[in-house]
Amino acid sequence: MNLASEDIGSLRIVTVSDDRIDAAAAIEFKDEMRRLTDDGPPRIVLDLANVKFLDSSGLGAVVAAMKQAGPDRKLELAGLNSMVQNVFRLTRMDTVFTIHSDVQAVTARLADAG
Amino acid sequence: MDNMKDEAENPRRPSTPIVRLNLKGDNLSTRQGLRELMDWVEAIGLAEADRAMIEIVLAEVLNNVVEHAFPDFAGGIIEIDARLRGRHLVFSVFDNGVPMPAEQIPQGKRHNLAVPLNDLPEGGFGWGIIRDLAEDLEYQRADRRNELYFRIPLTTSPLIG
């Protein structure tokens, strides 16, 4: 499970390189996310633009990652394709997360705020 | 299209597209088996939206088998039979694992999500997704194996114009 991390001010962008977050990958994803959210900026955006497939195991792993980040940090999502969005919608977990169309939508706002 | 006339003119037209797969009951094997199934689904010409639905339903079905039918079981085998019939892809999934509780398909939980962060669910979504997307879901226990049947409605079908 390949996760890359980049900090922009009070924002940490975590990019998933793998194209699947499924049952086989869920535990490794959680472990990697714990490593990347143990400390650092209070706002984390998880970029899922490379992820073509996510099932309920993957969804559970993302929820676990949000819990791991703790009450002082916010985990948001970006770049969900229609398949991944559908899984969040069917489970109503799209009501629990802040979901951005893509990472650019987040960073552009930061630039505007100067 | 008049099917009988078509077959008379083209006696070598392929009959019902079918695939049968045998997988071991662990997450890496089911990931690989699902990939093979999706290769076949793409090869028979199903639309992308339909392919996405098929993949998520099968992933949830297989995850359930691995997690619940084979709790400590090294010899778990899963058989998948998929066939295209009209506007549906019809599935049979068999496994040699432990029976479903009360020999019934779980309903699927409707989670209360208006809870504190730490109480949010991390699982229990699978049957809800399956029930939302698949039709004619049936389960029976026969010959010491679990047999799950369901079908997935297709928005377009290569068998029908």
The string of pLDDT tens digits covering residues B42-88 is: 999 999 999 999 999 999 999 999 999 998 767 899 999 999 999 99
Are A90 and B128 in contact (CB < 8 Å)?
yes
Are A60 and B31 in contact (CB < 8 Å)?
no
Angle at B36 between CA B135 and CA B58, to 5 degrees: 25
Handedness of CA B27, B28, B29, B32 (dihedral sign): positive
Phi/psi-derived region of residue B119, left when phi > 0, alpha when psi is between -120 and 50, beta in every other case: alpha
B109 touching chain A per CB within 8 A: no
pTM above 0.80, yes or no: yes
Phi, psi of A86 (to 5 degrees): -60, -40
Handedness of CA A26, A31, A34, A35 (dihedral sign): negative
B60 touching chain A per CB within 8 A: yes
Which candidate in A18, A37, A51, A55 is best for mutational testing of the B interface (most B CBs within 10 A)? Answer: A55
Shortest distance between the Cα of B42 and any Cα of chain A, in A, equals 15
Tokens 């309920």 sit at which residue? Answer: A56
pLDDT for the residue numbered B14 = 54
> Looking at per-residue confidence, does B36 or B6 come out higher?
B36
Binned at pLDDT 50, 70 and 90, residue A109 comes out as confident
Which candidate in B66, B125, B131, B132 is best for mutational testing of the A interface (most A CBs within 10 A)? Answer: B125
Predicted ipTM beyond 0.90 = yes
Please report, rounded to a whole number, the percentage of residues in chain B having pLDDT higher than 90.
76
**Both tokens assigned to B29:** 């094997």
> Looking at per-residue confidence, does B159 or B125 come out higher?
B125
A105-114, B108-117, B146-155, range with greatest mean pLDDT: B146-155
- Maximum CA extent, chain A: 42
Cβ-nearest to A55 among B28, B63, B118: B63
Shortest distance between the Cα of A113 and any Cα of chain B, in A, equals 29
CB A27 within 8 Å of CB A60:
no
